[in-house]
Amino acid sequence: MAGIVAYGGYVPRYRLNRGLVYGAMGWMNPANITNARGEKAVANFDEDSITMAVAAGIDALKGMDRNTVGGVYFASTSMPYKERLNAGIITAALGLNDQIRAADFSGGIKAGTTALLAALEGVAAKGVDNVLVTASDARLGKPASPQEMIFGDAAASLLVGSENVIAEFKGSFSTTYDFVDHYRGENAKYDRQWEDRWIRDVGFAQLVPEAVNGLLEKYGLAMTDFNKVVYPCHYGAARKGLNKKFGITPEMEQSNLQVEIGETGTPHSLVMFVKALEDAKPGDKILLVSFGSGCDALYFEVTENITKLAPRAAISGSLANRADLDNYTKYLIWRDIMPGDAGLRSEEDLWTRWSQLWRKRREVLGLWGTKCQACGTIQYPKQRICVNPDCGVPDKMDEYCFSDKVGKIASYTGDNLAASVNPPAIYGQVIFEEGGKYMFDFTDCDLDSLATGMPVVMSFRRKYTDKHRDIAGYFWKAVPKKEEA
Amino acid sequence: MADGIRDKVAILGMGCTKFGERWDCSGEDLMVESFLECLADAGIEKKEIQAAYLGVHIDEVNVGKAGTPLGSALKLPFIPITRTENFCATATEAFRAACYAVAAGAYDIVLALGVEKLKDTGYGGLPGGAAFGTEMFMRGSNATAPGLFAQLATAYSAKYDIPMSKIKDAIAHISAKSHYNGSLNPKAHLRKAVPEEAIKAAPMIAYPLGLFDCCGVSDGSAAAIVTTPEIAKSLKRNQDLIKVKALQISVSSGEEEIYTKWDGAHFATTRVAATKAYKEAGITNPREEVSMMEVHDCFSITEFVTMEDVHISPKGGAYEDVMSGFYDLNGQVPCQVDGGLKCFGHPIGASGLRMIYAMYEQLLERVPDERKVKNARFGLTHNLGGTPAKNVAAISIIGRD
């Protein structure tokens, strides 16, 4: 049996009130008032599609043995690299085995469900098992555009396997059309779209029904067979029309989270699907439909195993962890939409030495350190000679992973001299509960909220951007640990 | 059995430029300036210098690598010149190497010169770069020196359960004292007395350090010519002999950075270097015997914890000593008598020699009464280079018999 073994979600902490955006840019496009409801989730300055995919992946793998993961399928249309496997960076960050399959799925925003289908069918064919599908996007609309209002950033992950399945995969139906509602060319930073009425009346109103009817007919199902229907469509009128057409009751309809997160692109149907799974009961049937260059329609039946799944943040948990981004220009600077002067210090050249990263990839991307076989001292980064002055034994080390460990703040500061687009740069020493100490940048926090002794967890973030050489560099930062729900 | 450096080397002459934003001077100009003063003070000719050590720290701006900048600037005639570099202890290392060369009997007269031309970076603070290796571009925090040293405060507050407000009071007193001392010194970079209230109200650089908690970033050079006590005595018949009593260096073992036992509220290296230095100098009660100090006040909080690490204030007792004026110019152990890094300035590669220069001119009673330390016998200097978790500490003690 192939299906979903676990799910995870990630919504970045910062939320930008659409009224704030309208207040800044509404003068240029007054009609955007129709989109100016609620808030959009926005990636922090050090987040991108890769880091959010890792965060959702960590959530999905909670309580799982990472050695059992057999593949990573990453879906996104905002991947930081065109050449360099983005899923490879995610694999390393998640501390997975090297000898697994990883692939990037991109091009259209239905790539999230296409990656999911590839995983499900690969598992069903016994070619691979326990594939982590992680989808994430951080798409940009130009200031004053509808997309700027409508889009949001988030990620969703699904572990696909054959054992302990919480939602069994029952079947699918796909269509593919070169329907160009939105597109970005090779060098585009911002999304472009065609007329809303056409997208609504030809795209959603015709292509979604074709896929849904295709699935229903193929498997002899009726819409009333489903407890939950997941489909993305941010046009309110089109949603109403489709709900009416198919008889999707308010209980059956999975919210598109437009008011809370926004249209997140590639991950969107999966973000909604994860939200649906959070509330699902054994026996529930869920219809999952994606949209973008055609549609994928999939259906699942929830099993008893869902009651045994370890607690996780998923979409609800990360939605609850929110902070206002109360400054629109900060958003523009973070996304490099508006030039900002971070001072001459910010212009120092930070060469990325790929051979050095290759040597140190376990430490840098996976946050692996060592544990001394002789005395048990845990240490980061990896050491040849044990740092314990009473030990000092050479070359008796086991690898030890810090990325999933909890630490405590031993000292900290907020640095206004350091070049940053989010000053002050906050960093400090973290002492891990099981041992080990290191100085980390802190993120997703405010200086005033910190105190020595406060527990922190590790989060994979973009450490630097080398604009000159088009390089995104990654490392781990410390984030104050949230109270367990 | 080695018995240390005590009384084996004497200082024949010293020189020190005015520190500051020397926009009109190159590194070569600064080297020439400190050297000419030093040579005149030593009362010898250039050709009598048999070997030299050049202290230079920063490669990103500045004079370049190796011994060649010194040879070329001073036109030293094909003598051995070696560059020393050990973070902020760079100049002390040049001095130590020169002293060891004399003590070893390899040379009679040796020059140590430190220089740093910093003010061509285009911005405040020190340049970044690969001070801890290029690997840190990948996994180091986005840190600057103020932020790294600022953490001593939060860690100290946690360890001794002292509120941050009291620490802020003490470090403001430290900076006000140095500003006062600097105001009396014509060679100091910053020459304005600043009241504690203004110091506490200054813009935050790295919590809890404000602008006045950070030392000046300066251009400057300082130099010493050292020789054997016998030669010094023969050349300077009418002058007290200033002899080297102790030269100690301690370098981090990696323990502070990644092992969990270090509390982040003190300098392990300084404690070790100070203990060894007192033993080498024959000082058994530093609080009573040390006459004055120049310690590494790159930041006020560094000076605060260093008062304990050099074993003068009891552990956890720096606050009381600082606030009681124990380290003020008229206190029991005056500290930063020339203004310190805070106000005299901090051209990295020159600072260690500038500190020794400050002790040297006090021991020879060459300073005006308003900033003179009475009956000075031992002067202690201290450098701390790197970060609190990974550093080089140097302690030098010079004395008048």
CB of B132 within 8 Å of a chain A CB? The answer is no
Inspect the interface and report whether the beta carbons of A411 and B151 lie closer than 8 Å. Answer: yes
Q: How far is CA B361 from CA A85, A269, A305, B229, in A?
A: 64, 77, 82, 18
Rounded Cα–Cα distance for residues B5 and B246 (Å): 6
CB of A175 within 8 Å of a chain B CB? The answer is no
In a domain, A339, yes or no: no
In a domain, A76, yes or no: yes
User: Please, how many CA atoms are within 13 Å of residue B372, restricted to the half-sphere of its CB?
Assistant: 10
Nearest to B143 among A415, A436, A447 (CB): A415
Q: How far is CA B328 from CA A90, B129, B179, B308, B323, in A?
A: 57, 36, 11, 16, 9
> Is B216 a residue whose pLDDT tops 90?
no
Q: How confident is the model at residue B401 (pLDDT cuts 50, 70, 90)?
A: confident
Residues A53 and A188 in one domain: yes
In a domain, A373, yes or no: no
Q: Which of B61, B139, B157 to mutate to test the interface with A (most CBs of A within 10 A)?
A: B139
Residue with tokens 């009071």: B169
What average pLDDT is seen over chain B?
96
Residues A329 and A200 in one domain: yes
Q: Which amino acid is at A266?
A: T
Residues A302 and A348 in one domain: no
Per-residue pLDDT tens for A141-164? Answer: 999 999 999 999 999 999 999 999
Residues A60 and A166 in one domain: yes
Inspect the interface and report whether the beta carbons of A439 and B144 lie closer than 8 Å. Answer: no
Residues A348 and A271 in one domain: no
C-beta atoms surrounding A63 within 10 Å? 10
Q: Which of A285, A312, A334 is a domain's end point? A: A334
Per-residue pLDDT tens for B143-197? Answer: 999 999 999 999 999 999 999 999 999 999 999 999 999 999 999 999 999 999 9
CB of A376 within 8 Å of a chain B CB? The answer is no
In a domain, A378, yes or no: no
In a domain, A172, yes or no: yes
Q: Is the backbone of residue A13 left (phi > 0), alpha (psi -120 to 50) or beta?
A: alpha
Instruction: Provide the CATH number for the domain around residue A79.
Output: 3.40.47.10
Inspect the interface and report whether the beta carbons of A427 and B143 lie closer than 8 Å. Answer: yes
Q: Which residues of chain A fall below pLDDT 70?
A: 484-485
- Chain B, 147-176: which have a CB under 8 Å from a chain A CB? 147-148, 150-152, 154-155, 157-158
Residues of A in contact with B124 (CB under 8 A): 417
Residues A322 and A410 in one domain: no
CB of B254 within 8 Å of a chain A CB? The answer is yes
pLDDT score, position A484: 56
**CA nearest to A350 within chain B:** B137
Instruction: Provide the CATH number for the domain around residue A437.
Output: 2.40.50
Residues A357 and A213 in one domain: no
Residues A321 and A429 in one domain: no
**Contact yes or no for B351/B341 (Cβ under 8 A):** yes
Residues A253 and A134 in one domain: yes
- The first and second tokens of residue A440, run together, are 């980390």
- Chain A, 428-467: which have a CB under 8 Å from a chain B CB? 428-429, 431, 435-441, 447, 452-453, 463-464
For residues B256, B261, B267, B268, the Cα torsion angle rounded to the nearest 10 degrees is -90
Give the three-class secondary structure for B226: strand
Residues A12 and A100 in one domain: yes
Strands A71-75 and A131-137: parallel
Residues A157 and A94 in one domain: yes
Could you tell me which residues come within 8 angstroms of residue B133 by beta carbon, excluding any fewer than 6 positions away? none
Rounded Cα–Cα distance for residues A280 and A298 (Å): 16
In a domain, A444, yes or no: yes
Residues A233 and A325 in one domain: yes
At B240, give phi and psi (nearest 5°): -60, 145
Count of structural domains within chain A: 2
Inspect the interface and report whether the beta carbons of B139 and A379 lie closer than 8 Å. Answer: no
Q: Which domains does chain B have, with CATH numbers?
A: 10-122+219-242 (3.40.47.10), 145-215+244-400 (3.40.47.10)
Residues of A in contact with B125 (CB under 8 A): 345, 417
CB of B260 within 8 Å of a chain A CB? The answer is yes
Per-residue pLDDT tens for B243-298? Answer: 999 999 999 999 999 998 999 999 999 999 999 999 999 999 999 999 999 999 99
Inspect the interface and report whether the beta carbons of A356 and B134 lie closer than 8 Å. Answer: yes
Inspect the interface and report whether the beta carbons of A418 and B144 lie closer than 8 Å. Answer: yes
Q: How far is CA B16 from CA B58, B246, B350, in A?
A: 19, 22, 9
**CA nearest to A364 within chain B:** B139
pLDDT score, position A485: 42
pLDDT score, position B123: 83
**Contact yes or no for B70/B81 (Cβ under 8 A):** yes
**CA nearest to B265 within chain A:** A411
**Domain limits for position A78:** 3-334
CB of A348 within 8 Å of a chain B CB? The answer is yes
Residues of A in contact with B272 (CB under 8 A): none
**In angstroms, what separates the C-alpha of A469 from chain B's closest C-alpha?**
15
In a domain, A32, yes or no: yes
User: Please, how many CA atoms are within 13 Å of residue B348, restricted to the half-sphere of its CB?
Assistant: 25
Which has the closest alpha carbon to A152: A288, A56, A266? A266
Inspect the interface and report whether the beta carbons of B138 and A425 lie closer than 8 Å. Answer: no
DSSP string, B265-291: SS-HHHHHHHHHHHHHHT-S-HHHH--
Give the number of A-B residue pairs with CB atoms closer than 8 Å: 143
A173 membership: H or E segment, kind and range:
strand A167-176
**Contact yes or no for B246/B396 (Cβ under 8 A):** yes
Per-residue pLDDT tens for B349-389? Answer: 999 999 999 999 999 999 999 999 999 999 999 999 999 99
In a domain, A374, yes or no: no
Task: Provide the β-strand partners of residue B82.
Answer: B53
CB of B137 within 8 Å of a chain A CB? The answer is yes
